[in-house]
């Protein structure tokens, strides 16, 4: 067998995260049923070089991993439940929350950051892209979205995180982004025009929001005045998939078609929307309560009045389309919130969102009516 075929099979295995699906792809490419012979030795050699095992370890002929290491299978509901339970148990004990090294801590934080303006992560992607691609905003954002999705989807070691920004993998990201260049360029154009047409008002809004949040640099929020928001949120959908096995959520967080589908969102609403999305998804997977059509209608009203949009898996429908993206309405909504000394969605929690979805509360109980948030003291 040629070394090029070995390399192609190994690339499928390692860039795919060494899970069950990528194992099967690698074996099919190599034309083998197990990791034996020269191919097995090649995979072990690459595993040692990439830090997955030591030279004295034994390679499993069945999985291509170190003997004793369990292979991830994201199509197996029992496996998904095991990793979800294990992750929650670790978090409850305060474990696994202090990653350090290269960009491990920064990348993990950014992967779960609701905002796409995490500068540390974007800087890494810019460096990996190089010129002139780093200056193509559509390609940059399309690549960044795929990178964030991979960071959140796979349970990665430090070496694997670095590998995501290897020339080979970045080329894959760029090729996929290019397939959706038209919609990426449209978002770039929409954001540029929106910021240009509303520069003065956005400046005043972000200055007032800085004072409201007790910040010291209005420029911080002005840079985030119009961000690239995903109607299908990456972090929230990945979290829901890992906890429930929802294939719709996986599609929304992994399919390049959705990863490259973005829209203009004011930074404060982009960040605040994460609470709504996560609360809605927590309600959808809640085994003890049923989402009601009345509750869903209430949430639709909140999305409509704030000018934001989300695409999420549903309990009643396979996909829920909530709201319509309208940056001008977002400005109006944010202004009303600032005028009463509130963040965009007040002090609403994920639990509050769930109670609305279950029909136990209405958005008016939290001061939302007449197209915005009103002081409950009025």
DSSP secondary structure letters along 96-159: S----SSSHHHHHHHHT-S-S--HHHHHHHHHHH-TTGGG-HHHHHHHHHHHHHHHHHS---HH
In whole angstroms, what is the distance from residue 343 CA to residue 345 CA? 6
Q: Residues 278-297: pLDDT tens digits?
A: 999 999 998 888 999 999 99
The b/e string for 109-144 (b: 16+ C-beta within 10 A; e otherwise) is ebbbbbbbbbeebbebbbebbeeebbebbbbbbbbb
- Determine the Cα–Cα distance for residues 269 and 333; give it in Å rounded to an integer: 9
What number is the average pLDDT over the span 132-149?
Answer: 94
Q: How many CB atoms lie within 10 A of CB 100?
A: 8
Domain boundaries, the chain: 1-73, 77-181, 183-373
Q: Name which residue leads in pLDDT, 309 or 378.
A: 309
Query: By C-alpha distance, which of 254, 218, 225 is closest to 237?
Result: 254
Give the tens place of pLDDT for each residue, 4-27.
Answer: 788 888 888 886 678 787 888 889
Strand ranges (E), 242-343: 263-265, 310-313, 319-322
- For 153-196, what is each residue's pLDDT tens digit? 887 777 888 889 999 999 999 999 999 999 999 999 999 999 99
Report phi then psi at 309, rounded to 5: -140, 140
Q: What integer pLDDT is reported at residue 101 of this predicted model?
A: 33
For residue 5, how many other CB atoms are within 10 A of its CB? 14
- Helix/strand number for the chain, H first, E second: 19, 6
Q: In this structure, what DSSP letter does residue 329 have?
A: H
Radius of gyration of the chain (CA): 23
- What global pTM score does this model have? 0.69
Task: Please give the average per-residue pLDDT across 236-247, as a whole number.
Answer: 89
Q: Roughly what angle, to the nearest 10 degrees, separates helices 267-284 and 293-306?
A: 170
Residue 357 or residue 4, greater confidence: 357
Token pair 């960071």 in the structure block, residue:
151
Q: What is the structure's pLDDT at 284?
A: 92
Q: What's the token pair of residue 210?
A: 């800085």
């Amino acid at each position: 067998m040629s070394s090029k075929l070995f390399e192609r099979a190994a690339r499928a295995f390692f860039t795919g995260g060494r899970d069950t699906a990528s194992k099967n792809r690698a074996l099919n490419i190599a034309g083998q049923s197990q990791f034996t012979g020269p191919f097995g030795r090649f995979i072990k050699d690459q595993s040692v070089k990439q830090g997955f095992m030591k030279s004295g370890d034994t390679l499993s002929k069945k999985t291509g991993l170190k003997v004793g290491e369990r292979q991830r299978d994201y199509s197996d509901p029992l496996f998904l439940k095991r990793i979800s339970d294990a992750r929650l148990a670790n978090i409850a004990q305060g474990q696994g929350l202090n990653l350090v090294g290269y960009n491990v801590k920064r990348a993990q934080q950014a992967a779960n950051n609701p905002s796409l303006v995490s500068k540390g992560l974007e800087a890494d992607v810019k460096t990996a892209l190089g010129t002139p691609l780093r200056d193509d905003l559509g390609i940059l954002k399309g690549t960044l979205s795929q990178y964030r999705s991979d960071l959140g989807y796979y349970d990665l070691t430090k070496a694997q995180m670095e590998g995501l920004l290897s020339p080979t993998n970045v080329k894959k990201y760029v090729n996929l982004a290019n397939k959706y260049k038209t919609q990426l360029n449209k978002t770039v154009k929409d954001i540029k025009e929106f910021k240009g047409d509303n520069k003065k008002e956005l400046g005043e809004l972000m200055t007032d929001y800085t004072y409201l949040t007790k910040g010291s640099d209005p420029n911080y929020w002005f840079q985030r005045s119009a961000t690239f928001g995903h109607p299908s949120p990456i972090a929230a959908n990945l979290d829901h998939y890992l906890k429930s096995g929802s294939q719709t959520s996986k599609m929304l967080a992994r399919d390049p078609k959705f990863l490259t589908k973005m829209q203009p969102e004011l930074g404060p609403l982009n960040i605040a929307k994460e609470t709504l999305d996560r609360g809605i998804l927590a309600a959808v997977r809640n085994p003890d309560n049923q989402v009601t059509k009345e509750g869903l209608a209430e949430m639709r009203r909140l999305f409509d009045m704030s000018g934001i949009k989300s695409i999420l898996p549903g309990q009643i429908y396979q996909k829920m389309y909530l709201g319509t993206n309208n940056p001008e309405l977002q400005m109006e909504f944010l202004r009303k919130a600032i005028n009463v000394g509130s963040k965009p969605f007040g002090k609403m929690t994920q639990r509050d969102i769930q109670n609305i979805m279950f029909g136990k509360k209405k958005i008016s109980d939290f001061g939302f009516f007449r197209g915005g948030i009103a002081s409950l003291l009025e």
